Structure 1
Amino acid sequence: MSNTMSPSENLIKPLPSAVSVLIVDDEPGMRSFLSKALSKKFALVETASSVEEAEQLRSRCHFDLLIVDIRLPGRSGIEWHEALDDQERRSDIIFMTGYADIEVAIAALRAGASDFIMKPFHLEQMMKAVDRCIERRLLKRENLMLRRDVAIGYASTIIGNSEPMMEVKRVIERVAPTNAVVLIQGESGTGKELVARQLHQLSGRQGPFVPVNCGAIAPELLESELFGHTAGAFTGAKGSREGLFSFASGGTIFLDEIGEMPLKMQTALLRVLEQRAIRPVGGEKEVAIDVRVVAASNRNLAEEVEAGNFRQDLYYRLNVLDITIPPLRDRAEDIVELTHYFTLQLSSELGVREVVWSHEDLQKLQQYDWPGNIRELRNMIERCILLGKPPAEYWKQPVRQEVVAEGGYPLEWPLKEVEKSHVMKVVDAHGGNKSAAARDLGVSRKTLDRKYKEWFDGESVDGE
């Protein structure tokens, strides 16, 4: 799998500043040290020297994160039950202690700590713990918002706040209120139909949205499907039938994969766009229509015109307004938001408990280049939920490689040497795992061990 980013890059979206933190420690130096560091990152950072003082602050303001020293004057941090047991205003808690007592650590975790840090510590260690806690909290917030959106029917919302997607949204908002034909281009799986639906929803048109996959309808039936037919128009046409353009009256017809449309149908469609009327197959009269046309293609239609596969005049007629959807690899910063959205949506559809993915899972998802785009991402999330397998596990497993001999073996090589070279390539491809290599070679592990003993005259044949 090819990566689009260096693993060392910060792959998770920057944490927003609208986060509140309360530091509780009886040492003034520690309070000042942490307050200065965290104030550079978060909007509100308060300090307190005791549980009692901290509870007064917490009664006036909600804090997303509490950083609490366990050993405090009066009540200890673990005894701060008002914060630990408050389910309605639950905060993440990082406990600190200067005493290496495993029992205290266990008690802190049992009390509900999100993390536990030993003093003295490096600032980087604390900041990583803080980031982990805040990421979890932000994920919960996003899920609550998405759950609300799904509940009130915003399932067709375009997800993503990267600059390429923000530009797509801006174009949609500008062109949606018009009746102009729109051409949507982009790779398979980028969400062209979703953009078309958004155009329709924002258009104010009262009729339906009618999607048509031009590549999924037999060429000889496409004209009848789109324009309808009269009784007796062809064998089997026992009665008249309205076409999809008629069904879309007052609304929008979405012609997906229009690059697959036969040239004959392209001519008929061009006439419809110019005359704003259709003629059913076998009919003598044209019927006026009020339908907005949105077309889409995963092919480069300009190149198809050059190749003679697409009519130039139709291309110009369709390309009045163009929206190009970027592939997922060019907007990797949207992957986290898309993952949260699909996880919530699919968990609900599948009737399973919602899953929270780890930082490593999200990193791995952002590092992959997604040749199948959003459709591939959604399918992977669905598999992960059904199998109970986190996304990162897909990249931890040894990738089965198709081992092909490089060829050009010296003609003087005996068959034994060719066999030895090939077997060792297969074993290397499996990272030295001889059991896996034996399965690919179609032999038993015992046979493979025997071969190694034969080739290396008793040298070690250890391996999985």
Structure 2
Amino acid sequence: MALSVWIHLADRSCAAVGAALHQALIEVDIAPTDRPDHHEGIGILIFGHFLPTLTDQIRKASLQVTLLVICCSPVSLPPDVMWALLQAGATDLLLWPDGHCYREQVTARLLRWDAVQSIMKSPAVQGILVGESLAWRRMMRDVVEVAAFSRSPVLITGETGTGKDLIAKMVHRLSGHQKPLTVLDCTTLSPELAGSEFFGHERGAFTGAVTTRDGAFAEANDSVLFLDEIGELSLPLQAQLLRVIQEQQFKRIGSNTWYPTQFRLVCATNRNLEEEVARGTFRADLYYRIAGWRCRTPPLRERSSDILPLAHHFLRLLASDDPYPSLDPAVRQYLMTRSYPGNVRDLRQTVARIWHRHTGPGPITIGDIPPDERLYSTPAWPDACFVDAIRHALDLGVPLLRIGQAASDTAFRLTLDQEQNNNQRAAKRLDVSDRAVQQWRKAHDCTTN
């Protein structure tokens, strides 16, 4: 089946470029369409004049498709505008100021993105890809692309319980290696035996070494080595690891023989290694070796829309092959408003505790929630998620006026989406007039009711 690509012209000044690109794609068996034909397709947005409403168009389109944005304006775009387009949801931005159509630039990206989307639908990924939040899916898409189309070392950062080990397993699956994933948890290494865990040892190398044993470097040869919580490694072990990475060889403890090893290195940590480097507790040269590509797993508070899909997923696993019960509205509200310091792992354990109290047919009810975990008052607002969002904006240097405008725009957009674009219901929820909703929609090119 030919690859189908949605093409949208943001203004008439780019009509000639759009027509040329349309014909160029047909010549290489790529079928242009005038609307997204399915969720998670691929799209191209072409514009000649930048208008403030363009970021809203990109934001909406990027919810449906992987979006390539092409600017055919002869006037150079300021860097802050280019970054704003990427932040709005564009996957890449091409500049064609001469008005020519550069087919190869486009087709290379379209074919790569199509291949990535095919992998995203594979069983190797679907078992991990639970949730529809934009942050999670974009992170997973980036992981898939790096895992399948490069051999770069991967550094996974994130809070406890955010699924760093699942990402490491997926990198191994998509790397194409037949051998099992070699896992070493750096928090469990004792100072006396840490060297043996990495390098292995010869028989008689130390007291208790009754047989020759391979270490992680030998086991991971021609495969993937996953070092969990690498931030816990001592400085001497960091130096030894760096040498093996650089020289691709090692010696067992008690041996004078060098053994070759080649492996893809995947590391995970809940520490900020850049701060550790600044403090001198983590080697800078090792950090830059392992951080060939960095991936941050978002905490659950940044993907709250995934809480209920994850809860249903965990119920399905607990029920095994049996039908699993639904959640009544009060339980759904409880799960959505509860805090999860342990992130997804915390949610999974919460669902399990509720599941084990449930009995009989019918949905899970609030009585199934353990008494010491029940909420007897409305959760505080503003909550931690709101505070984190404001802190992030301040860290980026966003002024107060823009923060307020972004909050207002987001409230309008989310409410209209939840109310199926009904102006009256949205106005009632927002406690504003119908006219205020209409004016916002007109200003943001959202005129369809």
Change (3 A) 1:386 1:240: same
Structure 1 CA distance for aligned equivalents of residues 219 and 316 of structure 2: 33
Structure 1 CA distance for aligned equivalents of residues 242 and 192 of structure 2: 18
Q: Describe the superposition over 1:274-297 as per-residue Cα deviations: whole angstroms up to 9, x where unpaired.
A: 112222112212211121110000
**Does the 8 A contact of 2:198 with 2:217 survive in 1?**
yes
**Matched residue type, 1:158:** L
Show the 5 A alignment for 1:398-417: none
Structure 2 gap ranges (5+): 1-37, 40-120, 359-363, 378-449
**Does the 8 A contact of 2:125 with 2:170 survive in 1?**
no
Q: Secondary structure at the match of 1:237?
A: coil
**Does the 8 A contact of 1:381 with 1:391 survive in 2?**
no
Question: Is the aligned partner of 1:165 residue 2:131?
Answer: no
Residue number among 353, 368, 377 corresponding to 2:338 in the alignment: 368
**Does the 8 A contact of 2:334 with 2:375 survive in 1?**
no
TM-score scaled by length of structure 1: 0.50
Q: CA deviation at 1:161?
A: 2.0
Question: Is the aligned partner of 1:225 residue 2:197?
Answer: yes
**Does the 8 A contact of 2:163 with 2:344 survive in 1?**
yes
Q: CA deviation at 1:373?
A: 0.3
- Report the identity percentage: 38
Q: Partner residue of 1:195?
A: 167
**Matched residue type, 1:265:** L
Structure 1 CA distance for aligned equivalents of residues 125 and 341 of structure 2: 27
Residue number among 165, 172, 176 corresponding to 2:147 in the alignment: 176
Q: Partner residue of 1:345?
A: 317
Q: CA deviation at 1:204?
A: 1.2
Q: Partner residue of 2:86?
A: none
Structure 2 CA distance for aligned equivalents of residues 362 and 269 of structure 1: 47
**Does the 8 A contact of 2:124 with 2:170 survive in 1?**
no
Show the 5 A alignment for 1:7-86: none
Question: Is the aligned partner of 1:328 residue 2:300?
Answer: yes
Question: Is the aligned partner of 1:244 residue 2:177?
Answer: no
**Matched residue type, 1:183:** L
Q: CA deviation at 1:390?
A: 4.5
Q: Describe the superposition over 1:272-324 as per-residue Cα deviations: whole angstroms up to 9, x where unpaired.
A: 11112222112212211121110000111111112221111111111111001
Structure 2 CA distance for aligned equivalents of residues 187 and 325 of structure 1: 8
Greater Cα radius of gyration, structure 1 or 2: 1
**Does the 8 A contact of 2:196 with 2:253 survive in 1?**
yes
Structure 2 CA distance for aligned equivalents of residues 335 and 236 of structure 1: 48
Structure 2 CA distance for aligned equivalents of residues 383 and 218 of structure 1: 34
In the alignment of these two chains, the number of paired residues is: 250
**Does the 8 A contact of 1:229 with 1:242 survive in 2?**
yes
- After alignment, is 191-200 or 207-216 more displaced? 207-216
**Does the 8 A contact of 1:156 with 1:197 survive in 2?**
no
Q: Secondary structure at the match of 2:280?
A: coil
Q: Secondary structure at the match of 1:234?
A: coil
Q: Partner residue of 2:290?
A: 318
Q: CA deviation at 1:358?
A: 1.6
Structure 2 CA distance for aligned equivalents of residues 313 and 329 of structure 1: 33
Q: CA deviation at 1:250?
A: 2.0
Show the 5 A alignment for 1:194-213: 194-213=166-185
Structure 2 CA distance for aligned equivalents of residues 258 and 307 of structure 1: 16
Structure 1 CA distance for aligned equivalents of residues 289 and 224 of structure 2: 17
Q: CA deviation at 1:397?
A: 5.3
RCO comparison, higher one (Cα < 8 Å, 6+): 1
Q: Secondary structure at the match of 2:214?
A: coil
Residue number among 354, 363, 385 corresponding to 1:384 in the alignment: 354
Runs of 4+ with >6 A deviation: 152-155
What is the Cα-based RMSD across aligned positions, in Å?
2.6
Question: Is the aligned partner of 1:299 residue 2:271?
Answer: yes
**Matched residue type, 1:287:** Y
Q: CA deviation at 1:391?
A: 6.2
**Matched residue type, 2:353:** R
Structure 1 CA distance for aligned equivalents of residues 305 and 338 of structure 2: 12
Change (3 A) 1:397 1:168: closer
**Matched residue type, 1:363:** Q
Structure 1 gap ranges (5+): 1-16, 19-148, 400-464
Q: Describe the superposition over 1:243-271 as per-residue Cα deviations: whole angstroms up to 9, x where unpaired.
A: 12222222211100001111111111101
**Does the 8 A contact of 1:200 with 1:252 survive in 2?**
yes
